[in-house]
Chain A
Amino acid sequence: MLDIVSSSLSQGLLWSIMAIGVYVTFRLLHIADLSAEGTFPLGGAVAASLLSAGWPALAATLIAWIAGMLGGLVGGFLHTKMKIPGLFTGILVLTGLYSVNLHILGRPNVTLIDIDTVMRSVGRLVGGRLIASMVVGGVAVVIVTALFVWFFQTEVGLALRATGNNETMAEANAIPVDRMKMLGYMIGNGFIALSGALIAQNNGYADIGMGIGTIVIGLASIIVGEVLFGQRGFVISLLSIVVGSIVYRLVIDLVLLLGVDPQDIKLFSAIVLAIILWLPHRFGSLKGRIRT
């Protein structure tokens, strides 16, 4: 049982970085961006390929992060300069990235046996795979949270938040709204790809299908967090996403433990998210705590 909890904890930490990325487009820009389904495996693919080619783990991870930001830049360009609605933008990006990811991987999956991933390097220091996952997840969450909180309080960060919250106001205050949206796409998808890179290293492989259901996990983590904590300031919001992500992972792991066939897990995730989205409408006491 303790194993399950600690495994959920480490997985939840790593996945929460993806959920924080989804939060940027979904909550701050108010765009339902499905690009995550493509940029998450992009991060995994870039990291796995570079690691296989002998790159150091940290460099591979950082480059995967940047690759995600470039993916976001494409999405942002489609949405702002080509005026394609957010939903279609996401579908276009995730579809296009499928081929890109296949090219990067070279084959449907790449395993990272006997390769010094971030997890393995840290594992040697702390003496244990699970602890290494937790340490890496924890450090990554702290770095991402710190970057996030810092950035969104800067002048550019305020301008970006204003753009997402009230575009008319942003325009009326001379904020370059298209540029802000593109930046939001980049930041969000950068975090998503970073998470993909870390998950691939944690699992010991990257495969072309690892992105399926990403957006469901991301949204579920955000909303579970909001149901638990309500919508508050930044730091609380981010912490609630991390907790939401861990809780969600715990639920999935417990369900697997109860004997649900792993191949039914996506169906189960979808049903869980549907219920999570429905609950606040069903029970008035939760109303107003989340926006769907």
Chain B
Amino acid sequence: MNIGLAISGLKKTFEQGYALEKRVLDNVDLTLRPGEFISIIGSNGAGKTTLINCIAGVVSVDEGTIHLDGEDITRRKTEVRAKDVARVFQDPKLGTAGHLTIEENLAIAARRGRKNLLRNGVSEEDRAWFTERLASLGLGLESRLQAKVDTLSGGQRQILTLVMATMRQPKLLLLDEHTAALDPKASQLVMDLTEKMVKETHQTTMMITHNMDNAIRYGDRLIMLHDGGIVIDVSGEAKRKLTVNQLVDRFRHVAGDAVISDRTLLAGEVAFAKN
């Protein structure tokens, strides 16, 4: 059975019962078809990261359910969900183990969801597979299999994390602003690779981004979160025709004249300049 992701009535409040109580997710319903690539935008504090963290199991849910391929994963531990849910983080350091070598990191990812045994962690067979896989990226990483990941650049680490996350074709790939910490060139490279990998394997993917331009350009569907709810949900032809200007207008419309975070605006303005 392959029926994608189904989130229903998701609620999350931080600091419940305290003065700083903040409802971050307010009754979110969201369904992803298998193979769908969805980008999520929203101002700071809109609940994007909380949503992804609830799906990954890092943040516990107050109310509502999360089903993946028909299975209720709402209360599953992070490490158990990770068998089906792979993640790439904003901080390139988070997705890889810096003291381990490239091949050791890949070997760990290759064993996602399988039992770890007392046999050689990186076999010759693995090595051949990793070399082939990395060579296809054209970054020369395949010749550095035994280099510590600490010695890689942020962009290279992020690409490695992406390779690791997609290695076992997880049921769901979560990208949490995975290009935000990179310089523009590395950011572009990682985005292009992301699109290539997602398309090649029809990978069901949720991508949070601060960059409206990227949100429009990549993915089959775009949603905007505001105040813990989904305020815009476009896909297909409507999404392809969308411009950053229209998106900002629509956001102003639904959100009143609420503040759009500086970063989002900035990302928009860069896009205007290009248009």
Contacts and interface: CB of A to CB of B under 8 A. Distances in A.
> Could you say which of B78, B93, B108 has the most chain A C-beta atoms within 10 Å of its C-beta?
B108
Interface stretch (B5-13, B61-69, B111-119, B192-200): B111-119
B119 A162 contact: no
Nearest to B95: A169
Contact of A154 (B86, B99, B100, B118): B118
A162 B100 CA distance: 7
Interface in B66-119: 78-80, 82-83, 86-87, 89, 93-100, 104-105, 107-109, 111-113, 116-119
Interface in B181-197: none
A158 B123 CA distance: 13
B100 A165 contact: yes
B112 A170 contact: no
A177 interface: yes
Interface in A103-119: none
Given A155-B111, A159-B108, A177-B79, A169 B96 contact: yes
Interface in A158-186: 158-159, 161-162, 165-166, 168-177
A159 B115 CA distance: 11
> Could you say which of A166, A170, A177 has the most chain B C-beta atoms within 10 Å of its C-beta?
A166
Contacts of B107: 155, 158
A244 B243 CA distance: 64
A153 interface: yes
A168 B89 contact: yes
B245 to A, nearest CB: 37
Contact of A156 (B80, B93, B97, B116): B116
B108 A173 contact: yes
Interface in B104-155: 104-105, 107-109, 111-113, 116-122
What is the interface residue range for chain A against chain B?
Answer: 20 to 34
B164 interface: yes
B121 A153 contact: yes
A171 B100 CA distance: 16
What is the interface residue range for chain B against chain A?
Answer: 20 to 34
> Could you say which of A168, A170, A175 has the most chain B C-beta atoms within 10 Å of its C-beta?
A168
Contacts of B104: 158, 161-162
B95 A161 contact: no
A161 B100 contact: yes
A165 B121 contact: no
A83 to B, nearest CB: 14
A154 B120 contact: yes
Given A158-B108, A162-B108, A166-B98, A174 B118 contact: no
Interface in B233-248: none
B99 A161 contact: yes
A176 B81 CA distance: 11
B94 A175 contact: no
Given A158-B108, A161-B100, A171 B79 contact: yes
A123 interface: no
A161 B96 CA distance: 12
> Could you say which of A155, A162, A172, A177 has the most chain B C-beta atoms within 10 Å of its C-beta?
A172
B53 to A, nearest CB: 11
A170 B100 CA distance: 12
A169 B108 CA distance: 10
A157 interface: yes
A225 B56 CA distance: 41
Contacts of B99: 161, 165
B232 to A, nearest CB: 29
Contacts of B121: 153-155, 157-158
Contacts of A154: 116-121
A165 B105 CA distance: 11
A176 B80 CA distance: 8
25 contacts: A153-B121, A154-B118, A156-B117, A157-B121, A158-B122, A161-B97, A161-B99, A162-B97, A162-B100, A162-B105, A165-B98, A165-B100, A166-B93, A166-B98, A168-B94, A169-B95, A171-B82, A172-B56, A172-B86, A172-B95, A173-B108, A174-B82, A174-B83, A175-B108, A177-B79
Given A154-B121, A162-B104, A174-B80, 5 more contacts: A155-B116, A161-B99, A166-B98, A170-B108, A174-B82
Interface of A: 151, 153-159, 161-162, 165-166, 168-177
Q: Which 3 pairs across A and B sit closest by C-beta, in order of nearness? A: A174-B82, A158-B121, A155-B116
